[in-house]
Amino acid sequence: MAKEKTVYTCTECGGTSPKWLGKCPHCNAWNTLEETVAESAAKHRFQALAKSAPVTTLSEIEAVDVARTPTGIDELDRVLGGGIVAGGVVLIGGDPGIGKSTLLLQALDALSHQVRTLYVTGEESGAQVALRARRLGLDGSRVRVQAEIQLEKILATIEDEKPAVAVIDSIQTIYSDQLTSAPGSVAQVRECSAQLTRTAKATGTAMVLVGHVTKEGSLAGPRVLEHIVDTVLYFEGDTHSAFRLVRAFKNRFGAVNEIGVFAMTERGLKGVANPSAIFLSTHGEPVPGSCVLVTLEGTRPMLVEVQALVDSSPIPAPRRLSVGLEQNRLAMLLAVMHRHAGIACYDQDVFVNAVGGVRISEPAADLAVMLAIQSSLRGKPLPRGFLTFGEVGLAGEIRPAPRGQERLKEAAKLGFSVAVVPKANAPRRPIEGLTIHAVERVEQAIELVRGL
């Protein structure tokens, strides 16, 4: 029997090379080439699916809003942009055991009362899915279940059942007869996801693909998987915590970086209507080193507590550690404090933490980090009901944050009374119950806080 020809495929860009190389010649990524079986070029199996379309002027194309089907889970609908879109393909990834299958089974059960649904499981048997449904209290569920890993049989089932929504759990377990490589390989994942995406677009079936993640937390498989789908969702959170975050990193039908907050209960995942309560500590009295920040996650303002601990260092090189915030930005803020406000921490260990396990990436957290550090260093707490937000520049200026009015209104709604904000974010009309101090410089903000 003739030996099958193999090529080396890049897991990042999908490019191929006839031999193994340390660096991909197409995208210059290192150590991403994996051996796969070369595909036969005799005939192209997608030729029948390639439909020609005439060239049309953009202004002549009718633009209509896409119809959405609510999943029945408000927090999931928020992340998706309002609900499931017919023909849309959603990729959801997360650590093992974090709740991906649980959430999708709950969503399918709610959708099954409106439309036909199909749950394809490649990791469990039908009996295991039924046991989970019973634990979640989904007795009498109308969800259709298929335990199958062969792509061609799954596509035949979709054609026969004609579901409005189909879940594939997971894409790494599916294989196609057209390829000889093992399930989960780069070629199989790329092939199966492409076939399922084409089926979704051709039939109008909304497809949800569950993806595994690597040790680094990124989705396993080729990067092209994230490019061909319409929406990419990530499950975040500690498996030891009761709370989970679902974050949208890509969404062709809604806002990016939108998040949904869930609590894991005995009856599955339940949406959290007021997520700010999770990320705020319940101190009896204000404590030094604690500052409340109003951050923006997608379109939702959220209040998060930032804690700082400044202590004398026993070693010549003091430690700078941040959890939930960018560590390089912490070093920059300490330099700005020293240069423009005269606060030196060169002989102090500095630890900064965002409460609740949330990750903050926006620069509007700068001012809250800085005020928490100076509060811990002085051993004096910030006043009760205090909050802040604003970006700090290297010149010591405080820059405005986007959608400042919404942040302040959310804080006032939750009972906060004192706010220090960038001058450009100061509202023209006063907000009831909220005293707002507008500042332009770092030294001005720190001097103002000392007098409160």
Same domain, 131 and 236: yes
Of 240, 273, 306, the last residue of a domain is 273
Q: By CB neighbour count within 10 A (0-12 exposed, 13-18 middle, 19+ buried), where does 255 fall? A: middle
Strands 290-297 and 386-388: parallel
Q: Helix count (H) and strand count (E) of the chain?
A: 10, 23
Same domain, 285 and 266: no
Q: Give the model's confidence band at 1: pLDDT under 50 very low, under 70 low, under 90 confident, else very high.
A: very low
Q: What is the pLDDT of residue 51?
A: 55
Sign of the alpha-carbon dihedral angle for 72, 77, 83, 87: negative
Which residues sit opposite 303 in a β-bridge? 294
Residue 39, pLDDT score: 63
Residue reference for tokens 């490649």: 122
Q: What is the DSSP pairing of strand 117-121 with strand 144-147?
A: parallel
> For 29, which DSSP code?
-
Over range 125-142, report the average pLDDT: 91
pLDDT the model gives residue 3: 57
The percentage of residues in the chain with a pLDDT greater than 70, rounded to a whole number, is: 93
Rounded Cα distance between 16 and 9, Å, is 4
Please indicate, yes or no, if residue 48 is contained in any of the structural domains: no
> Does 420 or 187 have the greater pLDDT score?
420
Assign 224 a pLDDT band (cuts: 50, 70, 90): confident
Q: Please tell me whether residues 194 and 300 are part of one structural domain.
A: no
pLDDT beyond 50 at 403: yes
> What is 88-104 written as a DSSP string?
-EEEEE--TTSSHHHHH
Binding residue positions for ATP: 94-101
Single-letter code of the amino acid located at 177: D
Same domain, 240 and 304: no
What is the rounded average pLDDT of the residues 88-99? 90
Shared domain for 76 and 167, answered yes or no, is yes
The token pair at 57 is 């002027």
Same domain assignment for residues 294 and 212: no
Count CB atoms within 10 A of the CB of residue 393.
Answer: 15
Q: 256 and 366: one domain?
A: no
**By residue range, what is the domain housing residue 10?**
6-37
Average pLDDT over the chain reads 88
Indicate if 301 and 162 belong to the same structural domain. no
The per-residue pLDDT for range 336-395, each reduced to its tens digit, is 999 999 999 989 999 999 987 788 889 999 999 999 999 999 999 999 999 999 999 999
Would you say residue 64 lies in a domain? no
**Count of domains for the chain:** 3
Q: Looking at residues 287-303, what average pLDDT do you find?
A: 89
Say whether pLDDT at 218 is over 80: no
Q: Is residue 341 part of a domain?
A: yes
Of the residues 229, 256, 273, the one at which a domain ends: 273
- Specify whether the CB–CB gap between 167 and 210 falls below 8 A: yes
| C-alpha dist (Å) from residue 260 to 78, 296, 302, 341 | 7, 13, 12, 38
Residue 209: inside a domain = yes
Q: How confident is the model at residue 42 (pLDDT cuts 50, 70, 90)?
A: very low
Q: Please say whether the beta carbons of 156 and 204 come within 8 A.
A: no
Q: What is the pLDDT of residues 17-38, one digit of tens each?
A: 888 899 999 888 898 888 876 7
Predicted local distance difference test score (pLDDT) of residue 181: 80
Cis peptide before 112 (omega within 30 of 0): no
User: pLDDT by residue (tens digit) across 96-112?
Assistant: 888 899 999 999 999 99
Name the strand (E) or helix (H) holding 439. Answer: strand 435-439
The length of the chain, given as a count of residues: 452
Q: Is 313 left (phi over 0), alpha (psi -120 to 50) or beta?
A: beta
How far apart are alpha carbons 197 and 177 in whole angstroms? Answer: 17
Six-digit token string for 28: 């210059």
Q: Is there a single domain that holds both residue 331 and residue 197?
A: no
pLDDT: which is higher, 3 or 219: 219
Q: Which pLDDT value is given to residue 125?
A: 93
Phi, psi dihedral angles at 45 (to 5 degrees): -70, -10
What is the pTM assigned to this prediction? 0.76
Is residue 253 over pLDDT 60? yes
Residue 45 lies in a domain: no
Q: Which residue has the tokens 């928490």?
A: 372
Check residue 216 and give its pLDDT.
65
More confidently predicted of 329 and 225 = 329
118 and 263: one domain? yes
Report which residue type is found at 172.
Answer: Q
**Whether 160 and 123 share a structural domain:** yes
Whichever domain contains 431, its CATH number is 3.30.230.10
φ, ψ dihedrals at 174, nearest 5°: -85, 145
Q: What is the DSSP letter of 4?
A: P
Q: Are 350 and 372 in contact (CB under 8 A)?
A: no
Specify if 256 maps to a domain: yes
Q: Which residues are annotated as a binding site?
A: 94-101
Q: Which residues does residue 134 pair with via DSSP β-bridges, in sequence order?
A: none
- What was the pLDDT predicted at 193? 92
**What one-character-per-residue DSSP string does 105-172 give?**
HHHHHHHTTTS-EEEEESSS-HHHHHHHHHHTT-TT---EEEE--BHHHHHHHHHHH--SEEEEE-GG
Q: Is residue 13 part of a domain?
A: yes
Is residue 414 a part of any domain in this protein? Answer: yes
424: CB partners within 8 A, 6+ apart: 399, 400, 404
Query: 209 has which bridge partners?
Result: 91, 168
Same-domain status, 360 and 413: yes
Name the percent of the chain lying above pLDDT 90: 56
Q: How far apart are the first and last CA of the chain?
A: 83
Question: Does the pLDDT of residue 235 top 60, yes or no?
Answer: yes
Given CA atoms 135, 140, 144, 147 in this order, what sign does their dihedral have? positive
Residue 400 is predicted with a pLDDT of: 95
| pLDDT-based confidence at residue 331 (cuts at 50, 70, 90) | very high
CATH code, domain carrying 125: 3.40.50.300
Supply the pLDDT for residue 300.
83
Cβ–Cβ < 8 Å for 269, 99: yes
The last residue of a domain, from among 212, 240, 273: 273
Which residue in the block uniquely carries the two structure tokens 């594939």?
Answer: 168
Q: State residue 43's pLDDT score.
A: 47
